Amino acid sequence: MSALLEVRGVSKRFGGLVAVSDVSFSIAEGEILGLIGPNGAGKTTLFNIVNGVYKADQGSITFAEKDITRYSPDQVVHLGLARTHQIVKPLNDLTVLDNVTVGACFGREYLDMAAARKVASEVLQQVGLGDRADMMARSLTIAGKKRLEVARALAAKPKLLLLDEVLAGLNPTEVATMIELVRKIRDSGISVLMIEHLMQAIMSLSNRIVVLNLGRKLAEGQPDEVVHNSDVVEAYLGFPDIVDKLTRTD
Amino acid sequence: MILRRPFFWIILLIAAGFIYAPLHGNNVSLREDLILIAIAIILASNLNLMIGYTGYVNFGHIVFYGLGGYVGLYLTTVRGWNLVLAALVAGVVVSVCGFLFGLAILRLRGAYFALATIGILQAVQAFVSNFDPWGRSTGMYLSFASYQPLGGARRALWITYFLIIAVMALSMILSLAIKNSKFGLGLFAIREDEDAAVVLGVNATLYKAIIYSVSAFLPAVAGALMFFKNGMIDPSIAFEYMLSLEGIVMLMLGGQGSVIGAALGGTLYEKLRSYLLTSPVLSNFHLVIAGGLLLMVVLFAPGGLIGWLYRWVPRSRKVIE
């Protein structure tokens, strides 16, 4: 089986801080891989390395059989690797449609304006922003802006989509629709790598989960395997037997 | 494609008006008024490509105009070239310089970029002031013989005027074409959020260098024509820092990011300035007014006249480009 994305031994340090240390994992085609870990574990840094915002100090990244370790973010998109941002970055003074058109124009297919507008309207329908196409991006709600992030990335016609906490800050109804959307994206043949804190969501969506802690890979496996892993429990909650110890009465 | 934009035809109408008005009755003083307005529109429109479209404030935009003037005057006077050819070559040479400057300083963002553009202006002025072939600080004078190929001074001035009006129309058409293109959309994305634009696939480094270079071309051609018409050039008038600043005022006044806004701002400001300069009471007071005006615009109508219109009549966005 050939992996779509292969990350091998990637490290990144900022001065004295080792943000990501010797992390390896791979994603197969059509898979949803969940990336979890406590705050500051290096998840977003890892995203930034994969899509070229940061350059890895060590290790290599292969995407669709190309070495993309030294690629810049715009080159990575042309190959079909798109992402969303945890802190949304809407192009405020452009319309919602124009925002998504940017994604389509400069994405994998490098479409011209007319074709890009068409793709953009389709994607907006798909994510449920069809009726807000002519609004300025700044006037969307936070849920709307999160969808806009997804729509822009989708308009690039990616093979792999990196979703950075698309559920954070959404209410339960919005979470449910977003989960449905991610599932549809996977079913349309796009692989997904997602960072998420909402455990139910990541448990139900992911085929596999990678856990990061303090920049290192702590565990990897099926969702229910991972959550019962004692290292993972310790990373999240502290010493795993703590409940037993506290309640012991001898 | 662009032919279908109603605005394209409006630009041609404006240009036709500029040509017809002074020709009718051979009104030379009106022509001299209009030429200043045309130069203002050219400078503001091309500055708009950087400030309004890409979000990079260029304080040294006048360097392109001045350099174009020098190259143009050198080619026509010393080398005896044809005016049109000299002006075009001046545009190309200055654009290439612009591209190289751009690659050097466009890594900077925000205020640091703006400071670097002032540095470029000062550096070029210092270079030209010490450059022997261009007459150092005394500059160059056009020999009267240079008018001969155009059929004497009187005809030459009219021809230069028509050429400048053509450059004005081209400036607006260029703005319009870029605004409606994929390239323009990439620039807007950079203006709104450069990091997001790059992640969406826009090659920001290249786009910025290209637009910086493109925004140099027509001002350089205009500079070559204008200094040919004036018959002389020296470093202090070619690289007049005030004119660079006034270009920004024009743009802010009319509305950055808008094609008609840049043209409107250029026209209004130039009208105001000529009035203030010629009025005996207010002479030399125009910069105070310009500063005050800029302050008012920034405080109360940051989008300029067109931005103000967009705000109160949102549907005008679709009609007025």
For A95, other C-beta atoms within 10 Å of its C-beta total 16
Domain at B2-319, CATH from 3.40.50, 1.10.3470, 1.10.1330, 3.30.70: 1.10.3470
Question: Tokens in use for B19?
Answer: 């040509």
Nearest chain B Cα distance for residue A218, angstroms? 29
What is the Cα–Cα distance from A54 to A69, expressed in whole angstroms? 10
A249 lies in some domain: yes
Nearest chain B Cα distance for residue A221, angstroms? 30
Nearest chain B Cα distance for residue A44, angstroms? 14
Number of domains within chain A: 1
Give, for all 250 residues of chain A, the pLDDT tens digit.
578 999 999 999 999 899 999 999 999 999 999 999 888 899 999 999 999 999 999 999 999 999 999 999 999 999 999 999 999 999 999 999 999 999 999 999 889 999 999 999 999 999 999 999 999 999 999 999 999 999 999 999 999 999 999 998 888 998 999 999 999 999 999 999 999 988 888 988 999 999 999 999 999 999 888 888 888 888 877 766 665 666 766 5
Contact: B182, A107; criterion CB under 8 Å: no
Which of A88, A108, A100 lies closest to A152, judged by CA? A100
Contact: B202, A74; criterion CB under 8 Å: yes
pTM: 0.91
Q: How is residue A139 annotated by DSSP?
A: G
A105 lies in some domain: no
A237 lies in some domain: yes
Contacts of A91 in chain B (CB under 8 A): 188-189, 192-193, 196-197
Domain that holds residue A201: 1-69+197-250
Contacts of A51 in chain B (CB under 8 A): 199
A158 lies in some domain: no
- What's the CATH code of the domain at A7? 3.40.50.300
A98 lies in some domain: no
* Chain A residue nearest residue B303, CA to CA: A93
A38 lies in some domain: yes
Contacts of A89 in chain B (CB under 8 A): 193, 195-196, 199
Contacts of B191 in chain A (CB under 8 A): 93
**Residue in A101, A107, A156 closest to B185 by CB:** A101
Mind spelling out the 3-state secondary structure of chain B?
CHHHCHHHHHHHHHHHHHHHHHHCCCCHHHHHHHHHHHHHHHHHHHHHHHHHHHCCCCCCCHHHHHHHHHHHHHHHHHCCCCHHHHHHHHHHHHHHHHHHHHHHHCCCCHHHHHHHHHHHHHHHHHHHHCCHHHCHHHCEECCHHHHHHHCHHHHHHHHHHHHHHHHHHHHHHHHHHHHCCHHHHHHHHHHHCHHHHHHCCCCHHHHHHHHHHHHHHHHHHHHHHHHHHHCEECHHHHCCHHHHHHHHHHHHHHCCCCHHHHHHHHHHHHHHHHHHHHCCCCCCCHHHHHHHHHHHHHHHCCCHHHHHHHHHCCCHHHHCC
What is the Cα–Cα distance from B258 to B44, expressed in whole angstroms? 11
Nearest chain B Cα distance for residue A187, angstroms? 23
Nearest chain A Cα distance for residue B198, angstroms? 5
What is the Cα–Cα distance from B61 to B214, expressed in whole angstroms? 12
The three-state secondary structure class of A63 is strand
Contacts of B192 in chain A (CB under 8 A): 90-94
* Residue predicted with more confidence, A246 or B137: B137
A26 lies in some domain: yes
Exposed (0-12), middle (13-18) or buried (19+): which is A186, by Cβ within 10 Å?
middle
Interface test with B, best of A78, A79, A91 (most B CBs within 10 A): A91
Please give the pLDDT value at position A250.
59
What is the Cα–Cα distance from A32 to B46, expressed in whole angstroms? 48
